[in-house]
Amino acid sequence: MDRMRVFTYRRISRVTERTTSIERQGEHLVAECDRRGWVIVDDFADEGVSGATDPSERPYMSKMLARLDEVDGIVFYRLDRLCRSTLAFAELMDLCKARGVALVSCTEPLDLSSPMGVAMAEIIAVFAKLERAMIRERSMDARRKGLEDRKFVGGRFPYGLTPAPHPSGKGRTLVRDEEAVKVIRRMAAMVIAGHSATAIAKILNAEKVLTSRQKGATAKRSGGREAQATYWRGNAVRAVLRNQVQLGYRVLANGRPETGSDGLPLVVWEPVLTWDEWEAVQSALDTMAATRTVRHDAYWLQPVLRCGVCDASMTQTVAHGRNGLKCAQPNERRHKPSPFIRADDLTEWVNEQMVSVLGFMPIIESVWRPGNTSAQEQREVASSIKRLREDRAAGLYEGEEDEAEFQATMSALLARRRVLSEETSEEPHWETRDTGKVFRSVWSSSSPQARAAMMQSAGLVVRIDPAGGLRLPVGERARIEPDDPAAQHLAAIEAEEMED
């Protein structure tokens, strides 16, 4: 029978410890292995390392754990030389058990190669589970208390805020980052002026403005270490400008702002944007999202192309040296047969159809209406009126001068409330209107991108069906029809009724 092959492990945190010195531990380990007839494959020793240090972070123990496949067991002098935490020992025990490696102590009845040792290990595992639950409960309680005290309890924080010492002197809280505030206000002004989020990101990158991730990493690190290099993207710019923290609100995990007893959002930080600025920014972003253009090198019909099988969009490809279009579904979800059509053949056919067959159709123009909603201002006015009344009830206004100021402010708020209550709220939306022109009158003189935009406004798409391996003409596998199938069905019914 083969003899058991083992690693020996020694650890000491202070070289002045005589009773458990590295040399003394080594003597005991060798003697124990000789007594049992075990073969020592290698010896590992961590000097000047605390027992509280995680096993995977110790220089030599981490090397030992990486070689577990070479041995049947690990022999150590005493349990506290291996781990000081029940939880850490239980995790190490699970790792060794999964690799078929026994843990053996020279001075304690802990030997996972024997039934008694396994029983002892199971008892330790029970206490480790209890320790995990207690640690988790303490952490959750500390987090809840920290949030109640408006402390920063870790994790990523929104761009525009930065950690600072808590007023209580314990822990940290989030305060406005004045440098980031300047960047946010600049981004907002550029969006309102018509700059796209991608263009803004390029400008910020050129000027080496720190990103949200870089600012967060820098705030959490000490010793002057540099944050990992990242760069701004259009999505990041939009995320910053869409975040309600710029209105001074604290956004909770459910995505909604924290509210007070009156149901109104609490202003926790100084707002970066006024409500009017916020509305202007959101309207500009909505408009850009609705009118976002395709890449300059994209095939001009791509915005209106659809797969005739799954109705997915179609993407450019090259087959047999010819540019073409295919279903954009990823390979693992692509259906068979799948449509493919040559780009130049499709261009010729669509141009002919839009002039000779559909040329009578009116050109519809889409117009963005930003709308006007006073809901937020109404809430703010109501909150201000309530606050003024509470202040007066508390006796905070004294003398004729205070009373006059109270009456003037209250009168203005009440007047504004009446005006707002009479206004008709209208949400931002797109409107369509007939331009008075038809396709055949402007198609030839329009650019390819303008032609696609006209088809989009008219609600038209081009659907491509598979050819089934045959060289079918474009007209037999391509069709121009309304994007909405329901609208197409209703149009067919209406046509039938008109014929009757």
pLDDT tens column, 444-481: 998 888 888 888 878 889 999 998 777 889 989 999 98
Q: Are residues 187 and 286 in the same domain?
A: yes
Q: Are residues 398 and 479 in the same domain?
A: no
At residue 185, the pLDDT reads 92
Q: Are residues 64 and 123 in the same domain?
A: yes
Q: Would you say residue 139 lies in a domain?
A: no
Q: Are residues 327 and 387 in the same domain?
A: no
Q: Would you say residue 231 lies in a domain?
A: yes
Q: Are residues 413 and 453 in the same domain?
A: no
- DSSP per residue, 202-249: HHHHHTT---HHHHHHHHH--TTPPPPP----HHHHHHHHH-GGGGTB
At residue 15, the pLDDT reads 47
Give the C-alpha distances (Å, rounded to integers) separating 482 from 20, 304, 315, 457: 84, 10, 20, 11
Q: Are residues 105 and 176 in the same domain?
A: no
Neighbours of 405 (CB within 10 A): 12
At residue 369, the pLDDT reads 62
Residue 269 sits in a domain of what CATH number?
3.90.1750.20
Q: Would you say residue 363 lies in a domain?
A: yes
Q: Which of 113, 133, 153 finishes a domain? A: 133
Q: Are residues 22 and 124 in the same domain?
A: yes
Q: Are residues 250 and 115 in the same domain?
A: no
pLDDT band at 169 (very low <50, low <70, confident <90, very high): confident
Q: Are residues 472 and 362 in the same domain?
A: yes
What residues contact residue 425 under an 8 Å CB cut-off, 6+ apart?
A: 371, 372, 373, 374, 375
CA angle in degrees (0–180, nearest 5) for 85-91-95:
145
Q: Are residues 475 and 354 in the same domain?
A: yes
Q: Is 174 left (phi over 0), alpha (psi -120 to 50) or beta?
A: beta
Q: Which of 133, 150, 170 finishes a domain? A: 133
Q: Which of 392, 407, 425 finishes a domain? A: 425
Q: Would you say residue 180 lies in a domain?
A: yes
Report the share of the chain in percent with pLDDT over 70.
Answer: 77
Does the structure show a pLDDT above 80 at 4?
A: yes
Q: Are residues 17 and 90 in the same domain?
A: yes
Domains of the chain: total? 4
Q: Are residues 438 and 400 in the same domain?
A: no
Q: Would you say residue 359 lies in a domain?
A: yes
Residues 284-326: tens digit of each pLDDT: 888 887 665 555 567 889 888 999 988 888 888 887 778 899 9
Residue 128 sits in a domain of what CATH number?
3.40.50.1390
Does the structure show a pLDDT above 50 at 16?
A: no
**pTM for this structure?**
0.42
Q: Would you say residue 147 lies in a domain?
A: no
Q: Which domain holds residue 73?
A: 5-133
Q: Would you say residue 295 lies in a domain?
A: no
User: Which of 319, 312, 307 has the alpha carbon at shortest distance from 344?
Assistant: 319
Q: Would you say residue 140 lies in a domain?
A: no
